[in-house]
Amino acid sequence: MSLDTTVANPFYQLLVSLVLGLIVGLQREWADSPLGGIRTFSLIALLGTTCALLAERHGGWIIAVGFAGTIAAMVVGDIAKMQKIDPQKHSGLVTEFAMLLMFAIGVLVHHDPLWLAAALAGGLAVILQAKPELHGFVARFSTKEIRAIMQFLLISLVILPIVPNRTFGPLDVFNPHEAWLMVVLIVAISLAGYISYKFFGEKAGVLLGGILGGVISSTATTLTYAKRKGDSGKNLSQAALLILIAWTVLYCRVFLASFVAAPQFQAVLAPLGIMFTVSAAATLWLWRNAEKHQKGMPPQDNPTEIKTALTFAVLYSIVLFAVAFAKQNFGHAGLTAVAILSGLTDMDAITLSTARLVANGKLQQAEAWPLIVISIISNTIFKSGLVLAFGGRELFRPLAMPILATIATGIGLLVLW
């Protein structure tokens, strides 16, 4: 699995340009740049790609014209700024770039598929219309969230492409590029939950709080709410329900990680589905008598810190090597021991390492899915210990039956499947 740097379809090229323009524009908008923000940079990126598409047929002069138009628009923006034109009457450079892009779209209508020009024009209209929403979206970010996004870009777009893409060391299983790609995957999942927490965490009810907690980290969520209960001694049913929801979301996270890392790893789907169903049923059972509202989620840690990413990369590599070493030297017993130990620390590492070994043909699917199930059982026991240690018997009591159901289901799968 490697990063594909070629994008053949023109529509996807435009989509990538839009995303990159939004990313840079987000930072400029948040920094209150007087010359351009989230919409301006999006239009500049789309204009550049559109000109490049036209240049393939009509020559490179079109790119030069587009570049000259960009410079001209910037000059217009500077003049407007120096003359202190009323910002209500002059919306930065958006209109200027919209006009340049619309001209390029007109050329596309004549020479390229109509659907491409129509899609581009529709996107332009949406960007122009969504001014209040986009500006309001950016305004809600703090320095902490912008830093998290920029660190993720560093991890994914700067570091990943330069990491060597070949195997090193014994057993021929460690690939630095692949290991860092797994880091990007896990950080992306956690970052999605972290950003969602920014917008919904302060008013999240139990359901949304549990979902976001499971996306960010079910173990951290368990520890946080167990400690919260220990401090306050209140809302036992609420804390237990939120923890159980986070545990249930873990199955979705494991499924997503294994599917992305190894799409051919189909054998794990049914066991995960069965365990998810049992956990979801237990959640509904607990939901009946629990308090459904809370006063928001506690502060969450930034999942994109370089130290965190490096720690996971090391852990992933250790587990990857341990699984391969155990299979070669100790057989089934060795694999079981690695799965148990890894489940005690991090589900992501054992999930991704197992899936990648399946993808590379170094582990059979029949050997791999039991490792995932064993690590889930181990992880459940570990988190149960956190509940008991920090939340006490009162918090553990409503979770006892769901915990036993999860462990029994996992053991049943290992014995009977």
Helices 143-153 + 176-200 axis angle, to 10:
160
Report whether 41 contacts 25 (CB < 8 A): yes
Map residue 289 onto helix, strand or coil. Answer: coil
Give the largest CA-CA distance in the chain. 78
The pTM of the full predicted model, rounded to 2 decimals, is 0.72
Map residue 168 onto helix, strand or coil. Answer: strand
Residue showing tokens 């870009």: 153
Could you tell me the mean pLDDT of each successive run of 10 residues in the chain, 417 residues long?
52 78 76 71 80 79 79 70 53 66 64 69 75 76 82 86 84 85 86 77 69 84 77 66 92 92 92 95 83 60 78 87 88 88 86 91 91 94 91 89 94 92
- Classify the C-alpha dihedral 381-212-283-295 as positive or negative: positive
Which pLDDT belongs to residue 411?
95
Give 234-280 pLDDT, tens digit per residue.
567 788 888 999 999 999 999 999 999 999 999 999 999 999 999 99
Map residue 415 onto helix, strand or coil. Answer: helix
Cα(182)–Cα(160) distance, rounded to whole angstroms? Answer: 10
First to last CA, the chain: 29
Q: Which two tokens stand for residue 119?
A: 């899609």
Cα(347)–Cα(181) distance, rounded to whole angstroms? Answer: 17
Residue showing tokens 């199955």: 251
Q: Which of 217, 398, 186 is nearest to 290 (CA)?
A: 398
Give 340-392 pLDDT, tens digit per residue.
998 887 788 899 999 999 998 888 999 999 999 999 999 999 999 999 988 88
DSSP 299: P
Q: Which of 28, 63, 38 is nearest to 48 (CA)?
A: 63
Report whether 218 contacts 246 (CB < 8 A): yes
Cα(300)–Cα(186) distance, rounded to whole angstroms? Answer: 16
